[in-house]
Amino acid sequence: MTSSTVLITGASSGIGRALAQRFAAAGHALILVARRESALQSLAQELRQSHGVAVTVIAHDLAIAGAAASLMQRIEAAGLQVDILVNNAGLGFNGAFIDSDLAQVQSMLQVDMIALTELCHLALQGMKKRGHGRILNVASVAAFLPCPQFAAYAACKAYVLSLSESLRHELRRENITVTCLCPGATATEFHDVAGNEGTLIMRMMDSPEMVAEQAYRATLAGRGMIISGWVNKPLPFFLQLLPRSWAMTLAGRAARRQAA
């Protein structure tokens, strides 16, 4: 699979944009998906010029029920196939669950879990027929413990990690690999959307380019899980040593906005 077609969701900014740049630099054709078409078009133009790769832009809202099926229909209608699926689109909201806007929570569940799951299922059908494929699902270090202030988001990411590990096991004889990326805090628009300004999380950020480089290598190597950033890597080990309630208290403090 030296020059496969890679579908990247959430390619209009942050980690998805950096992943698009990394896959393009390696000569892969791309299908870029997000809602902001102008951001996707300017990235596509830049990648065609600098790397000479084919780039297809599909503006698509993954928060709508059935979005994954309609996206795959658009991809098939364009005569394309998905050799590598990168389920990166995602969002979270900082704040107490009881005060959250339920419509926002539902749309987060739809993007972070449902569209991701449906895209895995749909893309896997073609991968199985062709006898090869790779999936990269983007979770978070929040997948490793419940996180007060990010309760539903952390639960979504725990789901993504669990799903990815199970799929990887089920597909181990199919020449299809499933990799789960668990980034720590990364300097992207995620924190503007989430409302994270003034939190401890914002004090130690990785660059999206570094995260994308590590994720790209792990995906091509067929690794099961990658925690990006050397500071984050030992996190699951240290969390095991702490009582769960202490770990949650620390996570909740890191996510709480400091008084100005």
Closest residue by Cα to residue 149 from 239, 257, 238, 240 = 257
Q: Which of 20, 71, 76, 75 is nearest to 48 (CA)?
A: 20
- For residue 105, state whether it binds ligand NAP (rule: CB under 6 A): no
Measured from the CB atom, is 146 or 174 closer to ligand NAP? 146
**Part of the chain binding ligand NAP (CB under 6 A), chosen from 14-22, 97-105, 144-152, 170-178:** 14-22
Give me the catalytic one of 93, 144, 150, 153. 153
Q: How far apart are CA 31 and CA 40, in angstroms?
A: 10
228 binds ligand NAP (CB under 6 A): no
* Contacts of ligand NAP in 161-190 (CB under 6 A): 183, 185-186, 188-190
Q: Which amino acid is it at 113?
A: M
SS3 at position 212: helix
Determine, following the binding rule CB under 6 A, whether residue 200 of this chain makes contact with ligand NAP.
no
Contact (Cβ atoms closer than 8 angstroms) between residue 61 and residue 110: no
Q: Is 153 a catalytic residue?
A: yes
Rounded Cα gap, residues 159 and 87, in angstroms: 13
Q: Which of 20, 31, 55, 62 binds ligand NAP (CB under 6 A)?
A: 62
We find the least distance from the C-beta atom of residue 88 to ligand NAP, in angstroms, to be 5
The pair of structure tokens assigned to 72 is: 């795959």
Task: Please work out the total of residues on this chain that contact ligand NAP, with binding judged by CB under 6 A.
Answer: 29
d(CA 86, CA 34): 12
Q: Does 213 bind ligand NAP (CB under 6 A)?
A: no
Stretch that binds ligand NAP, among 4-12, 42-50, 71-79, 144-152 (CB under 6 A): 4-12
**Selected binder of ligand NAP within 26, 80, 193, 200 (CB under 6 A):** 193
d(CA 193, CA 209): 20
Angle at 165 between CA 63 and CA 129, to 5 degrees: 75
Q: Does 46 bind ligand NAP (CB under 6 A)?
A: no
Strand, coil or helix: 31: strand
Under the rule (CB under 6 A), what is the footprint of ligand NAP? Answer: 9-16, 34-36, 61-63, 88-92, 111, 138, 140, 183, 185-186, 188-190, 193
Catalytic residues: 153
